[in-house]
Structure formats: structure tokens, C-alpha cells
Amino acid sequence: MRILAFVPGGIGDQILFFPTIEDLKSTYPNAQIDVVVEPRSTAAYQVCKSFPQVIPFDFKDTNGPADWGNLLGIIRDKEYDAVLSLGQRFGVGFFLWLTGIPKRIGYGVGGGKIFLSNPVPLEQNQYAAHMYHDLVKGLDIDRPCPPLSINVPKADIAWVEQQLKDLGISDYILIHGGASKLSQKLGMDKIYPANQWQRVVDGLQKRQDKPVIFIEGPDDRALIEQVLQACPQVTVIKPTDIGKLTALIAAASLMICTNSGPMHLATAAGTYTFALFGPTDPSTVVLPNGKTIAIKSRTGKIADISPAEILDKVWQS
């Protein structure tokens, strides 16, 4: 059995797709499962338990006929039995038809549905991982979505342990307040102001004598510099890849973050997490009744979430 999946989107989308891959692997233990993802998201599969083969393709780029033709050649050479696609555009459906894959599974909406052999209903008012998992119904798999889970490499756990040992830290609170360059470019409201983080940090340390660690991601330098000016007492750790980031999150006693990839990693790692949301509806990206607690801005602006509201949520839980 050879199965292909088209999973456009960021690292968070890939993590939310992991349960679908796990269920496919459970159903077809000897299957070859490959995923087509954007180059910016390939790193997510460092922590995927099933280790699928990743085929990078920039869905958002202006791809010419040669780019699509090259991808089509790669796919045809592998002679897949089935393809699952999160994409709903007419062009995606047409491309899947061109691949010649006999079972073409996607949501039965939009112009591309006419090219699908096994359409499934699109139910958007649910947790995104569950919505993605609905695609397996096109393969006659009808069971609940598995929980989000990840694989944390031992080498990355050892790296975090050494970092903490060097800093003299054992138990800590973790904060991630940044957002990707793409989110910033698109004007998405996902960064909580540094001066308000200061009040959050002060409030945490008054109640619990635990060190606070800020995560510095690849796009967070400007925010971290502001945070250090406001909160010189905090520690900053810069994980060099997603495995180390995941290990750092998994070892934390709790995390506070914005709606981002690290939030999904925390959900998968089982770390108690408080996630700040501006305009985004948290109901589709936060697991109901899980350890991730959404704090939604009443105005739709993330900066309007008061530090006191964050601290109240933490102490009430």
C-alpha cells in the first residue's frame, strides 16, 4: 500500500495531521506513507512517530508548469494507491486527477470535488485534527481520531537537560510570545507586547519561586530584545531545531504562549498550556477538555488581554 497526503500550511497544520498519519500506519502497518508539504513546514516531521517521507513543494509560491510537472513526475513514478488532500481548490483536485492515483480522497466541497473518487463531508466546526482525520473515511476507516502525539528524540532531551544543568534550573515556566515571519507579513495578530509580558512574569514569580524561560524562535529576536529590556531576570533559550524545542516544552511545568506551532507541540507533549488568542476562534485549534486552555481577547486584539486575566487563569487551574 502506497499512500500520499497533500498537507499545505504551517508546522501547526502538520502536527494536527499527525493523528491521521498514525491511524493510517495502524491500519496499514507495511504501507509507505509520503507527505507533500511546504518547505517551511518540513521540520515538523522530525517529531512525527511514523517518519513519513517528506516531499517539499511550495504551494504558496508562483509555480509554473515546469514545477507542477516535476511534482507530477515524482508522484507518478511512485505509483500511489491512494492520496488524501486537505486542499479544496479546483486546481488541486485537477492535479490529483492528473496523477492517475485510483483513490483520490478530499472534502466534497469546492470546484475540485468533481475530480475526487472518494469525497468525504467537510465538518469545519470541530477541532482541526478531527476534521483532518475525517479524510480516512474515504478509505473506509471509521473510528475516533487518535490523540495528538509526538516523538521526542533522545538526543534533544539530552540537549535540554544539559542546558538546564548549566543554568542551574530544574523546574520552570516556559513562555513563547512570538510568531512566524509569514504570520507577521500577513498582519496576523499573534504577538503579545513585551511590557505586558513583564507584568505576567512579575505576577508568576510573586506566587511561585520558579524561573521563567522565554523561547527564542528563528523570528523572535526583536521581541526577545524588548522582553530582556523589560524583564532582565528571565532566561532565554534558543532551540536550534524543532526536536530541541519540543523537548524544552515537554520538560516545562507549564507554558504560556500565543496561537502558534509551539502551542500544538505543547498539546501533543501533554504540557499544561495557556494560549493567548486575538481574532482567531480557538475552538478549532484547541483540543476540548485538554491541558491547553485558551484565553480569548474580548476585543479581538491580543494586546487587550490583560496580564491580570492571564494570571487569574493560571491560578484558577
Grid coordinates standing for 262? 509551539
What residue ranges define each of the domains in the chain, with the CATH number in brackets? Answer: 2-139 (3.40.50.2000), 154-316 (3.40.50.2000)
pTM, two decimal places: 0.92
Tens of pLDDT, residue by residue over 18-74, are 999 999 999 999 999 999 999 999 999 999 998 889 999 987 766 778 888 999 999
The CA dihedral of 37, 91, 182, 51, to the nearest 10 degrees, is -10
Q: Are 106 and 85 in contact (CB under 8 A)?
A: yes
Q: Are 96 and 116 in contact (CB under 8 A)?
A: yes
Q: Are 50 and 21 in contact (CB under 8 A)?
A: yes
The amino acid occupying position 230 is A
Model confidence band, residue 255 (pLDDT cutoffs 50, 70, 90): very high
Tens of pLDDT, residue by residue over 195-231, are 999 999 999 988 888 999 999 988 888 889 988 998 8
189 DSSP assignment? -
Spatial distance between the Cα atoms of 275 and 256, rounded to a whole number of angstroms: 6
Is residue 77 within a helix (H) or strand (E), and if so which, with residue range?
A: helix 65-78
